[in-house]
Amino acid sequence: MDIYHRLNAFFGPRHWWPGDSPFEVMVGAILTQNTSWRNVEKAIDNLSRLALLTPEAIEAAPTDTLAQALRPSGYYNIKKDRLLSLVRLVLENGRGGADPEILRWPISKLRSALLEVKGIGPETADSIVLYAANKPSFVVDLYTRRLFSRHGLILGSESYQDIRSWFMENLVCDAALFNQYHALIVAAGNKLCKPKTPLCNMCPLGDDVFLDESLLV
DNA sequence: GACCAGGCACATC
DNA sequence: GATGTGCATGGT
């Protein structure tokens, strides 16, 4: 069985990304930078209680209030600025609200616009394109590098672009597939493929993944 | 108390 | 192009 189906059989449907609206997904993508999702949830709960889950509300909020709401997710001063930068992009380009207009843009236009925002790098941009806009852009993260390098499929030191291209050239271009695949990789990384357990005997990929094994048949 | 978490910008070589 | 550092909270 190929890699995707092994993971899928083990973990089942992941229903990513958790969030009540596309804009909340965008916010989560910023807040989860180098941060566990558990802590991000606390910050999003704070924003929700303060009714700060629209771009308009975030822009209008006192910056101190915003920063304090973000505290549980760490790097709260930086993330406050990054959220405001993202909000600015949204509000300068059409309807804001819970489902911003820019999410209708074509993938390449949306992705490059996001990458020009200070504080949004390739992973955050791809997370927004895939999980907020529901368009096929593969997300590469720490867990992707760890899982696939540990099984000898990549070195792990490749550039973000190289790894993303490798996935996208070897997969059918489909948002639902990219969505579930990345979610499965994170599930494996969170639950089994931990930093201090290089070879996990519970890994659904087992120890018999070979260099030529396909990502998806 | 050390290590880790769904990164990114910036300085330096 | 590669490597190092600051940013910060909360769980294990």
**Model pLDDT for residues A91-140, shown as the tens digit of each residue:** 999 999 999 999 999 999 999 999 999 999 999 999 999 999 999 999 99
| A58 shares a domain with A79 | yes
The CATH number linked to A60 is: 1.10.340.30
Domain final position from A112, A132, A152: A132
Peptide bond between residue A17 and the one before it cis (omega within 30 degrees of 0): yes
Q: Are residues A40 and A126 in the same domain?
A: yes
For residue A153, the enclosing domain spans 1-17+136-217
C1' (B2) to CA (A34) span, angstroms: 18
- pTM flag (> 0.85): yes
- Same domain? A126 vs A165: no
Measured in whole angstroms, the distance separating CA A39 from the mean position of its chain's CA atoms is 15
Of A51, A58, A45, the C-alpha closest to A85 is: A58
- State the nearest residue by CA to the C1' of B9: A119
For A26-47, give one letter per residue: b (16+ CB within 10 A) or e.
bbbbbbbbebeeeebbebbebb
Cβ of A42 near strand C (distance < 7 A) = yes
CA of A141 to C1' of B7 (A): 9
Note whether A88 and A182 are same-domain residues.
Answer: no
pLDDT of residue A203: 73
Contacts of A96 (CB under 8 A, 6+ apart): A23, A54, A55, A56, A87, A90
